[in-house]
Copies of this chain bind each other. A is one copy, B any other.
């Protein structure tokens, strides 16, 4: 069993993280966060989301954030675009890469986006066409890949066709999200084993929430399946570490610390990353959700 020599981390803190924080964050602070992350060496940063601010008030101002950040050559600055309107707004803001998302289960799809899984995929078609026209790459997310709040445990066989459909539609990469954080290491391995029969392994990402403390073990389990691409969130943004039922993403610092210990290259500077996480945590007025950052800053 050999682990990947290199791993790419997709930083989702400014989007998946901040959109789940309770308090509003100014455009200036978001710009600072993205610039800090660029400076720390992240190669892919999900900067914002082009959705109605009625639905997700935290993501208002994404166009201003894109206008304000310093874009470094070779770094991808992406945005979520759940529909054609969002895609057009993203395009107008100069976004070069977008992400779309579908659920693995019918119940979650119905309650979250009011349509079936296959309808949600159909709705992406105009986005995929427009993206191709404008040379914009599209990343696909599948949520609830290991557990669903309405259907319980989710099988790999349920996930595979959704991942494949996104891939077939033109998503160059598909991220499998354990939205609830209920998944454990064995199910994670089986998930990638099964889905990799439909989508090439090197185009699959793992996206783990740490609600049940399982996220890092699941990253390690994924590495053992040859997965070399993970989404994570600086300072564990998106779930207050002190709140009941915190649902935050795994902290980028904690993933990076493990990868470094495993001798895996990422190109990211841990000290700068910790500093970025402590800065945004101070803005939010709370302690960082990264255990590595807490341990290191304890001196």
Contacts and interface: CB of A to CB of B under 8 A. Distances in A.
Interface residues of A, number: 40
A212 B245 contact: no
Nearest to A242: B242
Given A184-B262, A258-B185, A244 B213 contact: no
Contacts of A217: 216-217, 219-220, 258
Contact of A295 (B185, B221, B245, B298): B245
A183 B214 contact: no
A36 interface: no
Given A1-B1, A219-B217, A186 B295 contact: no
A254 interface: yes
A241 B145 CA distance: 28
**What 10 pairs between A and B have smallest CB-CB spacing?**
A184-B261, A245-B298, A213-B291, A244-B298, A213-B254, A216-B217, A217-B220, A186-B262, A217-B217, A211-B295
Interface of A: 1, 3, 181, 183-187, 210-214, 216-217, 219-221, 241-242, 244-246, 251, 254, 257-258, 260-263, 287, 290-292, 294-295, 297-299
